[in-house]
Structure 1
Amino acid sequence: MSSEKLKEKMENIPTFGIDTFKLENTSCYRPKPVSEKPSDGSMHFTIMKHPKEMLEVMNILRRSQKLCDVTLSVGEEKFLAHKIVLAASSQYFKAMFTSGMREEEMNTIPLHGISPCTLATLIEFAYTAEIRVNEMNVCYLLPAATMFQMNHVVEACCVFLEHQLDPSNCIGIADFSSEHGCIDLEQKAREFIQKKFCEVIDCDEFLTLSPCQLIGLIKHDELNVRCESEVFNAVIRWVQHDSEKRLCKLEGLLMAVRCYFLSPNFLEKQLKHCNVLKLLPQCQEYLSKIFEGLKLHQTCLEKPRKPCAPLVIFSAGGYLRQSLSHFECFNPCTKQWLRLPDLTIPRSGLSSCFAKGCFYTVGGRNNSPDGNMDSQSLDMYDPMRGSWISKCPMSVPRNRVGVGVIDNMIYAAGGSQGQHHHASLERYDPDLDRWTTLGSMATKRIGVGVAVVNRLLYAVGGFDGQHRLRSMECYDPEKDEWHFVAPMNVTRSGAGVIGMQEYVYVVGGYDSHSQLKSVERFNTISKRWEFVSQMKSPRSALSVAVVGDRLYALGGYDGNDFLSSVECYNPDKDEWIEVTNMTCGRSGHGVAVGAEPSRL
């Protein structure tokens, strides 16, 4: 048929039908696409309104009790319906009416285990595809919808409950969803409990957990806690809630707590003052052995918990012709950088660390065209709030300072103020927002690298005002004493220093003649140094970080340029590869590893 004749036929369609066949109304009528033009010139239409209109007519018939072929009874209540509609909405009713069951021939079918109100709601959904879920009816709708295998209603209830998740109800929702086979909702509720653990333990539902449930919860690697003492305190609170029945469970619960990550000070206080522990000598003995092992700096065999969010490398400040205020983080999995709120004051020569879930910047110097000023500042970035908070400053300014963390306490060693070089050490307590002066090193050190292994602090290399250093000193926090250990193979200041497994790694640095690409590590067990593969680029005033089983070297100065490149070391293969570039070259920046900021 020619296009002219087709147009003529379309124009001769009676006016009463013209609105029905307008193709522009694609929400109601959609031509079915065909790969070839039909030989008879026909068009295929899908009438989108038709199913809804059919349901509306059937619902009108139900309400007027026309053509109904089944009556559902609950107690004294009767509900007329059409078998075909119920069977189409529910696998339960489909099996009842089509599988040769005796109900297939019955006109009235009694139902049990459901309220009349809930059945009325489900029948209404079968005819309208609409349902209102709220706090009052969800506990009745979900079990009934599960029983009748009305999966769309089950999904609606699960979505509603997921949006209701709160520290005060998440345990109940997890148990409720498990009871009714809602696997996805249960998993989301369990993940919520782990993520919000510190809030959940303050709610009444936490105290209703069974011993098995509590053990299963606190064993999770992904339990989101700032320090293990929060888990310990939660266990004691749970026992105290019903000590007569629960005291006998404490020993098993303590085995699930990662007690080797508790600080000796915390354990000592619990052993002296916890009334629950005093009733159980076997628990006191167990914790006493851990306490002694920690004081002796024995190797910890337990694995640390994993954060709920991916681990990222935070980088703050640095120097590129002047001090920088840059603050950003790098995700090794996605290979992406994210810009974060700038430092309040530009700084280079600073050090950074994580303590109790927050990122800290310590000391440094603001080198600017207006003049240089050494810093004694301590600033904290809260990844949950995305903001900086100034904390108690150190006793003295410290540029090119070394920093380490033991038992969630921040230790700041060495550094300089003007021409004065420090040998001193001080410690910051985040709970008290207070610094305490400790025993000094034997040697003044700026550009010193600091690492922590088995709760011992190692100060490596640096510059004493006259010479670059090979020496390394070790600090014992229990004795408040420093002692020398085996010196490095190479003189280094401004090296990247970090603890990884039983090793202290020392990366690059400056030896008074040139920037270094060599890398060596100290085995804290055998007390020996050994070289490993060297980096691709020489670097001094670089920063290093450990994520998982990989060591990252970021930025630094190679003698000519400020580097933006980042190299990654694989200890298993003993090789370095370049993995990314920072947003700009820099040296003297502070880095630390922590959980990805929540606002991502």
Structure 2
Amino acid sequence: MEKSGVRDRKSKTDTGDQKRTPNTTLRNQKRGADTESKLGSKAPLPHKDSGFISYVHPSHSDTIFTHLHRFWEEQLLVDCTFPLQGNSFRAHRLVLAAASQTPAAVLGPGVEEIAQCLTPVGLRAVLEFAYCGDVTVDLSEDWVTEEVLDACQCLHMERLRERCMSKVATSPATQRDKSLAVIKDMWERGVGCDITIKAETGERHSAHRVVLAAGGDYFRALLCGGLRESSEDVVCLRGVPSWVIESILSFVYSGQLRLGWSRIWELTDALVQFQLEEALSLCTDFLRDRMDEGCCLDVLVLAETYGLLQLGQAAEEYILAHFQCISAGEKFKDVPCALLERLLEKDSLCVESEIAVFRAVVSWVEDNRKERLPCLPELLLRVRTPLLSYSELQEALSCSLLYRSPGTKGTLEALQSLMEGNYRGPECQPRTPNQVLVLVGGDTVDEDFKKRVPSQTLWFAQRFHRGFGLIRSIEWKAFTKIPELPRFRHCVCLLNNKLYVLGGRSFYGALDILKSAV
């Protein structure tokens, strides 16, 4: 899959860690079509290394044991068998060891013989506890409790024994957390590992086959799907750096990732490739939490490349909210035309004045005039020229770039007509993030100051001009008209960005009180 990003003209540092961008530039998007998960937010945990932050997925052990339980039910990757009283019970030795006080004893070759003294009821309770963190057998019967306690003693299941004897049981989720911590400890010590993941550069990383398969869809298909790798002791992941493999394995065993700008882009690529959605959610959390003007464009490209909808929405909202600052930066010059058009169309694009949008378009075209000049007419159609003030219209008409493309003739005519006050083109609304001051109706005096006249017109404050001290002068512009009748002494309210005008009077007589709303 092609990866796109914004070229890093200026490097930035963040807590001592350089913010590196994706491997290729945003310019590459122009050669392909634009691309447009329910990921929960986890709170970052501080780490002693100032360059990295540890992110933890809170329900990771639940996910791992859900898959392990499914493997048990489907008899996938099971590696030990207990024949008892004509019945055969199969299980994963590692899962049983994780629930035991002495994992090494359960991992040993004689566990099947040790279990010969168990009863089916006792063994079933042990297996349920190992995979689920709880037991469903009825412990109110003394003989059942005795058989389960015998199984606990035989297999050193101290936590299950406490569960049977205690009236206040530890939650199954807590038990699963403890079991996964035991598995992680065994992995770190290399106990019971039965598969080796090899990087292309030769580094080797040991793991447990069943835990790796429970960690994600890619490894599940690789190890349980009948492929050649399912029977091999060494699996090579080509094109994946050793540190990425180490990070993936660390997450599978702990639900934790250490993230920093030096590794976030490459790690996110790998997590998408290996379909590790929980780990990917931590990367998206990192990118969302640390969004700024320097990385938001890269984040948007990454999200759209891999279909990360929520992250893409967050990045786009950030860009729209900080457009004026971002458009003045170096990375903005590498935004593809299609993306720039999409941003300029948004009502939620936040700028102090529409002239900032015009300047951004001109700056973007000037950066590569030869290639981008043909894009200028379409981009100018997305600039809301009727919102420009008189002085801003003068600035736009003085821009030499507009006279270099035959496609900008319509824009030039519109600008000129706006200057002369005879514009007849389509109107446009202010961009919605701005706080817009609107005057609605009311009454006013006529030109001769002889009588008061109800008004239908809505005016909005197009621009606030700075004066001395706290003084501001307001440049007003007609917005629209209230449908008949004109009204004054009315009420107004705003709901879901719609303005409602309620009641009021249409004139001064006792019968001119209105009972309508618009």
Q: Which residue matches 1:122? A: 248
SS in structure 1 at match of 2:486: strand
Who is 2:481 aligned against? Answer: 500
C-alpha distance in 1 between matches for 2:437 and 2:402: 38
Shift in alpha-carbon separation, 1:568–1:113, aligned structure 2, 3 A? farther
* Corresponding residue number in structure 1 for 2:470: 390
Q: Pairwise CA RMSD of aligned residues?
A: 4.3
Match of 1:390, SS state, is: coil
User: Which of 259, 272, 280 is matched with 1:146 structurally?
Assistant: 272
Encode CA deviations 1:359-380: one digit per residue, 9 max, x unaligned. Answer: x9xxxxxxxxxxxxxxxxx999
Query: Cα distance, 1:294 vs. partner?
Result: 6.3
191 and 249 in structure 1: CA distance in 2 versus 1, 3 angstrom threshold: same
CA 270–56 in structure 1, closer or farther in 2 if over 3 Å, else same: closer
The corresponding residue for 2:179 is: 54
1:232 has 2:232 as partner: no
Contact 1:195 1:223 in 2 (8 A): yes
Do the aligned residues in 2 keep the contact of 1:552 with 1:567 (CA within 8 Å)? no
Partner of residue 66, structure 1? 191
- Give SS of 2:235's match: strand
1:548-587 CA distance string (max 9 Å, x none):
665425999x99xxxxxx98712xxxxxxxxxxxxxxxxx
Larger helix fraction of residues? 2
Letter in 2 for 1:101: L
Other-structure match for 1:24:
none
CA distance in 2, matches of 1:550, 1:60: 62
- Is 1:543–1:554's contact at 8 Å kept on the other side of the alignment? yes
Is the alpha carbon distance of 1:290 and 1:353 closer, same or farther for their aligned partners in structure 2, counting shifts above 3 Å? Answer: closer
Q: CA deviation at 1:47?
A: 4.6
Kindly state the Cα deviation for residue 281 of structure 1 after the two structures are TM-superposed: 4.6
Residue number in structure 1 paired with 2:210: 84
Q: Alpha-carbon deviation of 1:40? A: 4.3
Specify which of 546, 564, 569 is matched with residue 517 of structure 2: 569
CA contact (8 A) 2:255 2:279 kept: no
- Where does residue 476 of structure 2 map in the other structure? 405
Other-structure match for 2:281: 155
- Name the structure 1 match of 2:461: 355
**CA 568–169 in structure 1, closer or farther in 2 if over 3 Å, else same:** farther
Paired with 2:244 and 2:498, the residues of 1 have a C-alpha distance of 55
Q: Which one has more relative contact order, counting CA pairs under 8 Å at least 6 apart?
A: 2
Q: Which amino acid aligns with 1:65?
A: G
- Equivalent residue number for residue 334 of structure 2: 208
Residue 501 (structure 2) aligned to one of 552, 556, 561: 552
1:71 is displaced (CA, Å) by 0.7
CA deviations over 1:376-400 (Å, ceiling 9, x no partner)? xx999xxxxxxxx72158xxxxxxx
Displacement of 1:146 in angstroms is: 1.4
User: Which segment drifts farther, 213-222 or 275-284?
Assistant: 275-284
TM-score by length of 2: 0.57
**Amino acid in the other structure paired with 1:195:** A
How far residue 82 of structure 1 moved from its aligned partner, in angstroms, is 0.4
Query: Residues 310-321 of structure 1 correspond to what in structure 2 (within 5 A)?
Result: none
> Equivalents in 2 of 1:278, 1:546: separation in Å?
42
C-alpha change, 1:357 and 1:126, in structure 2 (3 Å) is farther
Alignment of 1:36-435 (within 5 A): 40=141, 45=169, 46-74=171-199, 75-271=201-397, 273-284=398-409, 286-292=411-417, 295-308=420-433, 355=461, 390-391=470-471, 405-406=476-477
Distance 2:388 2:404 in 1: 21
- Structure 1 counterpart of 2:229, which letter? E
Higher mean C-alpha deviation, range 304-313 or range 249-258? 304-313
Q: Render the CA deviation track for 1:218-256: whole Å, top value 9, x for unaligned.
A: 112221223322211110011111222222221221122
Distance 1:105 1:174, change over 3 A: same
Alpha-carbon distance between aligned partners in 2 of 1:166 and 1:98, rounded to the nearest angstrom: 42
Change (3 A) 1:298 1:275: closer
Q: Are the equivalent residues in 2 in contact too, given 1:546–1:552 (CA < 8 A)?
A: no
What are the superposed Cα offsets for residues 475-504 of structure 1, whole Å, 9 maximum, x if unpaired?
xxxxxxxxxxxxxxxxxxxxxxxx426x68
Instruction: Name the amino acid aligned to 1:80.
Output: S
Q: What is the one-letter code of the residue matched to 2:195?
A: V
Q: What amino acid is the match of 1:68?
A: C
CA contact (8 A) 1:72 1:110 kept: yes
Find the aligned partners of 1:243 and 1:174 in 2 and give their Cα distance: 25
Contact 1:222 1:305 in 2 (8 A): no
- The residue matched to 2:348 in structure 1 has which SS? coil
Secondary structure of residue in 2 paired with 1:131: strand
What residue ranges of structure 2 are gaps of 5+ in the alignment? 1-131, 146-163, 441-457, 509-513
SS at match of 1:188: helix
How far has the Cα of 1:545 moved from its partner? 7.2
Q: Deviation per CA, 1:142-164: give whole Å up to 9, x if none.
A: 11111111111101100110011
Q: Deviations over 1:514-568 (max 9, x none)?
A: xxxxxxxxxxxxxxxxxxxxxxxxx4xx676787665425999x99xxxxxx987
The structural deviation recorded for 1:311 is: 7.8
**Superposed displacement of residue 302, structure 1:** 4.1
2:261 is paired with a residue whose SS is coil
CA 392–90 in structure 1, closer or farther in 2 if over 3 Å, else same: closer
Rate the CA distance shift 1:95–1:314 in 2: closer, same or farther, 3 A.
Answer: farther
| Paired amino acid for 2:517 | Y
Instruction: Determine if contact 1:89/1:150 at 8 Å carries over to the other structure.
Output: yes
The number of equivalent residue pairs is 343
For residue 193 of structure 1, report the CA deviation from its aligned partner. 0.9
Query: How far apart are the structure 2 equivalents of 1:280 and 1:223?
Result: 26
Distance 1:79 1:130 in 2: 18
CA drift of 1:38 comes to 8.3
State how far apart, in whole Å, the 2-side matches of 1:505 and 1:205 are: 52
Aligned-pair CA distance for 1:297: 4.0
Change (3 A) 1:131 1:269: closer
Mapped partners of 1:32, 1:104: distance in 2: 32
Q: Secondary structure at the match of 2:370?
A: helix
Cα distance change of structure 1 residues 295 and 551 upon mapping to structure 2, 3 Å threshold: farther
